[in-house]
A and B are shown apart, each in its own frame.
Chain A
Amino acid sequence: MQFLSTDISLILEKLSIIVVVVLALLGIALYTTFAERKVAGIMQDRYGPNRAGPFGLLQPLADGIKLFFKEELIPLASNRMLFILGPFIAMFTALITGAVVPWGSQLEIFDRTVSLTIAKPDIGILYVFAVVSIGVFGMMIGGWASNNKFSLLAAIRGASQVISYELAMGLSIIALLLVTGTMNLGEIVTQQMAGGLGGFLGWNVFAQPLGFLIFLVCVFAECNRTPFDLPEAESELNMGYHQEYSSLKLGFFLFSEYINMIVSSAVMATLFFGGYDIPFVDEASLSAAWGNNIVAILGILMLLTKIVFFLFLFMWVRWTIPRFRYDQLMDLGWRKMIPLALANMLITGVITLWLNR
């Protein structure tokens, strides 16, 4: 009986965290679309959307309603089932990546210690990689099922781009794993919190600057963001893989891109920037003074701040750099990023061996 009751409360606990994380991801993504347009405007000496509501804050709602009421078109010659499946895979994989990210340490609610990570598998990073590579299928299936040459070309481009950059990304992660010695994202964060200056010097970005740079560039490519937004290259492919999509399915594709951005920002913050670690602050002594819950909430806010910074970086780069040509993209991926990542891995390995003599 005892066993059964704890089990149910654990399920409830996990379910509530899942609901909160999914809703938060959707909410943040909603306002990321708004922020994207706002940042674009401000960087081009414009205002950006400012008509719907105060400061245009209702703009994402207006966009959503517009998309929702658009006519749902499915091309006659398309593969109907796959056509519908595409955006759902894209959305689904984007959302489930957030399952292993440690959003905070733990909260104490009603004598229960609630961990703020949905799942803590020992293969955390591998899980992220696995899910991200499934994410390409959404784009590929969608582009292929559209029965449109531009969509298909875009889907092929997208797939080859993501595969090429996943290699360099994986190699840069291996170098990071040599430093941390674990693939569990929660443990990686705890390790970083133990560093000097309240955890600041423990951040992996100081141990792996080159690895971070490679990872960052690869994340841009994985999220199909400018300068690597080849699958959506308007000038050559009309609209890319989602050309035949309309209404909410198009919304799913566009939205999954933003959720992917948020989750990749969270992963980057977790792996290289201490996750929910507050820099220059010793969490242990602070929680002794203020209580665990407040420190945990501050940690969540800190992680959100880091995520927002990375999101801004995504937008900043998007509105600065023009798109790569396809051969340049492949050249950068295969002939620059992968050798660099390999070299980084080798050097890290040698240094780690030497330190652990």
Chain B
Amino acid sequence: MQPLTNRVKVLEPKPLNLMERLYLPNILKGMLITFRHIFKKKATIQYPEQKRPFSSVFRGLHVLNRDEEGKERCTACGLCAVACPAEAITMEAAERKKGEEHLYREEKYAARYEINMLRCIFCGLCEEACPKDAIYLSETFAPANFTRKSFIYGKPDLLIPDPVQAPDDFARAKGQIEERKQKANKTLTA
């Protein structure tokens, strides 16, 4: 047949020489290779104890943010719900009453805020849409549970720890967020 290109290389299979036909030397060679692998570094990451470092733009479960005084930032504007392509976010707005100023930052807040984690595709569009810096995607991932219902995360599951009551927890969560933001900025500018 006429070759279609000039790059065709015709290979003639060579008959095996004596060493190759004896078969055993090559088996020994192979066994040496596998034996050497006994001493090599293991590729396994022991998952629950060890975790892979995340990419700076990793998108995990959501966190509802608070400001420094522990007030919730969310104003229930609904932009995240609109942005959500999976329609995983539902919320109910309510008006801030007198005496609730220490709980909510602005006059309107989310009385109910639910994300269905089974619907969510973790695209991060809610984070981009939020004008109040109220929602972030954290590094927590792979939630596990027995019922579908338990995957609808309400405000108690989503809210970041209160900086006044649990400053350490808040600092930890916040620190991760800030770190991630910086990292993300760095990668964006780089």
Contact = CB atoms under 8 A, between A and B. Distances in A.
B37 A44 contact: yes
Contacts of A320: 27, 30-31, 33-34
Interface centre among B24, B41, B42 (most CB of A within 10 A): B42
A42 B44 contact: no
Contacts, number: 34
A334 to B, nearest CB: 16
Interface in A317-331: 317, 319-321
A46 B43 contact: yes
Interface in A208-265: 213
B38 A43 contact: yes
Interface in B109-159: none
Interface in A19-74: 42-47
Nearest to A217: B24
B38 A321 contact: no
Given A46-B44, A47-B42, A321 B30 contact: yes
Interface residues of A, number: 12
Nearest to A50: B46
Nearest to B28: A320
A316 B31 contact: yes
Interface in B1-58: 24, 27, 30-31, 33-35, 37-38, 40-44, 46
Contact of A316 (B24, B34, B41): B34
Given A46-B42, A46-B43, A47-B44, A317 B37 contact: no
Interface residues of B, number: 15
B38 A42 contact: yes
Contacts of B42: 45-47
Interface in A162-217: 213
A47 B27 CA distance: 24
A339 to B, nearest CB: 14
A321 B27 contact: yes
B43 A316 contact: no
Contacts of A45: 37, 40-44
A47 B46 contact: yes
Interface in B39-87: 40-44, 46
Interface in A74-110: none
B48 to A, nearest CB: 10
A213 B44 CA distance: 37
Given A320-B30, A320-B31, A321-B30, A43 B37 contact: yes
A317 B34 CA distance: 9
B128 to A, nearest CB: 40
Given A43-B38, A44-B37, A320-B27, 18 more contacts: A42-B38, A43-B34, A43-B35, A43-B37, A45-B42, A45-B43, A46-B42, A46-B44, A47-B42, A47-B44, A47-B46, A213-B24, A316-B31, A317-B31, A319-B34, A320-B30, A320-B31, A321-B31
9 residue pairs, one from A and one from B, having the closest CB atoms? A320-B34, A45-B43, A43-B34, A320-B30, A320-B31, A43-B37, A46-B44, A47-B44, A42-B38
Interface of A: 42-47, 213, 316-317, 319-321
11 contacts: A42-B38, A43-B35, A43-B37, A45-B44, A46-B43, A47-B42, A213-B24, A316-B34, A316-B35, A320-B30, A320-B31
